[in-house]
Structure 1
Amino acid sequence: MLLFFHSITIKYAICGVERVNTGRGKLVALAFIAVLVLPTVLASQKAFADGLTQENLPPASFGDQQASLFVKINPPILTTESKQDAYLQFRLFDAKTNETIKFPTLNIAVYKGTDPNAKPLMQDFFQSENGLLTIKVKPQEGDVQVQGNREPFLNALKADPGGTVNISGPVLLDGGLYRIDVSVFGIKYPTNIFKDEDVKTFETALSVGDVYSQNVQSEGKTYPMSIISYYDKVEDFKFNAASKTYSWAMPFNWNTSRIQNAPNVFVHEEVRVPKSFTGVGDASAFDAKVNGKPIAGRMLAVDPFSDENNLILHFLINKNDILDMARNSPPSDGKMSFSFSPAGASEGQQTSGEISTDTGGIHALLNWTPGQLKAGAETKLDIQFVDAFAGTNISDQDVKYDLKIFDKNGKEVLAKTDQTAQGGKGEQAGLNFPADDTYRVEITVNGLVKQGQSPDLTRNGIARGIVVVPEFPAGAMVAVAGAIGAIVVAQRLMTTARKNK
């Protein structure tokens, strides 16, 4: 029997552990059987959050208590040159009070990629007295080795007083997508071991950025570049010196059922090109493509300010974008391809009507008034925050955010911090652009707040866009709103069609 709670799959674990007073030897043996059997059970259903480095999973029922699980991988970027320590962090907490639940006994399995037939890189029982569990990983080849004592009931590794367990082995050796399955076998005190039907399993797939570096040649000069792929490893990098086109690919599973059933899928590629590369690093507009399909607007963010020496481009591709590609022109090689080159001189910049955070969870719809922006004239900005994964406006939460605007030289011309968009709607009046120019707008999402619940910090990020003065930007808002509406209608029609089958 399977029970579904949004992106959580709750399963009856196939193991012989019950809340009974038996000898230690029997329980340890049964726990060992559970470790062997669980991989098969967990592979039967998937609920992944592809492309994210942390996630608050929706709550599951433990008796009369609703509990959520927070999972995080740190650091968010791993380099092949430096095998630094990595961390897997877990926190089971009361979904209503945000109180950390003591003595969780967890069976944790970590896999590379989302292949349901893959063998776990690591799987074991863990227990933390204070409820906070950090698995400190020393990535290295060979078998998994653990440090620490085990408790007598499920033979779980006991975390130290700070909540840490140290392991070494082939876990988080490099960047890419990692599937993590967490089964809760007990809570609140060490001997509280669940019956089979009370075991709950949380599943997610989190990503670690992989850094790819390469030198390119143009007109007798050498220029470095780097790509941080926050989804999977970079492959097939090429540079066409004649057209100044960069291209690369990464592995991607284009199965539409997998993508549709995943609550969150997000691909983020971050490219750095030196500003000294004339014609590329000093360009302000680009022709960018994913799988040969042109992208613009919220899907491509150009950042000339964060790095003094490099221009940064962000490819930001969400679940709906990926589904559209998968249905209309699915690749046959199991890869997602990217390319970009400087845009032609005739292709001017336009004011952004929609921008996306670099973590993919939030879109911001921007509407500037009056219809034609003018230097020295009072301007108003209306912001509608959108749940990027659901494709609907945020209306039942307040969004905490900062707003900053920079001129083309990176000088800050406006800053408003600690702002609140009540019900997802923000308003900034009395803005003033000092001159006719192209400006960069940055909106930093600092958290989503709902009364009676703990703040949601998992979708924090920075959204970047362009404001052109003078320009007529009003139509952008209408077009974007129509696109969002079309997506929502399409999703509802698909849901209805599935129900009628």
Structure 2
Amino acid sequence: MEFDWSPEYIELVQVVHEEIRVPKSFAPYAEGKQFKGYVDGVEVDNRVLLLDPYSIEGQNIIHFLVSGTELQRINEKLGSSHYNKGTMEFKLVPQSEVVKNSFEFYLVNEETLVQVGTTVKASWDSTFGANDEIPFEITFFDENRNLLKDVRYGFFLIDQDTGNVIFSNVGDDSSNLGILASEGIDIQKITLPSQKTYRIDIAVFGQGITYDTTYAGIGSGLIEVGPGGLQPITSTPPPSNEISIPDWVRNNAGWWSDGAITDNDFASGLEFMIRENIIKVPTTSNGQSNENAIIPDWVRNNAGWWAEELISDEDFANGIQFLIKEGIISV
């Protein structure tokens, strides 16, 4: 995307939002996966990346929410030669699959204690524990299980044994109370000192720039912290005898991912190789031919990952099947 990296402009930017939408059936982007995100080749804080499996049936949305502070850090990392680049490039790299701990609770009106329509889900990677910096994912839903966007909230972490507040955050903008969860999902990094049970109190102050209080309320949940330092769980899918892709095809995939060959050239090459049985993928019904169709960015990422051997042949074949179903290539 086009972007002005001049320091004068960066100082005015609050956040840059980019999203990638992919089928839920595409394993590298599945719920439970971890990612590393890069902007112009610089790894960004994992709080920049939010996975939304709720908003669109059959699709996952991965949000890049790059703050002005993060943009300044990227500029400092790349130096003054970066100021005139004129574009911003996003890259996702899949990591290991994780098992998450989670719990949910509803909020009540602070004065009447009557339940409001808000449900809060808190989840975190089970491999983290005491003395680890744990990225807690906090998600807000309305009564219809839709994400509550543009929520302003705060939270307090309380030692159950002593009743003492050990950490709190109600935002850092004195004129606008609360942390903003623009997409209804937020990640907060918190270090808990001991293996024990903590209580988290969450308060929603309002929604939107007017602080609509329809979904405002308070609620609590319990966090049990283990020893930490555990290894992530990884899984490798069994190989499929329906898939056969020569290694030299990786070069083509890498060139296309880097923009060295066009979408049409890449699609035409795939068509030829499938018809000639150079590439074998599971039988897939052709969609209606669409010469003007645009290949989604996630398929380009998929090709780049496969070229770098970050994902399996099965995952790459999944992307090819998508192109066939959408009529982008015909076999």
* TM-score, L = length of structure 1: 0.26
TM-score (normalizing by structure 2):
0.37
Structure whose residues are more often helix by fraction? 2
Larger RCO: Structure 1 or Structure 2 (Cα < 8 Å, ≥ 6 residues apart)? Answer: 2
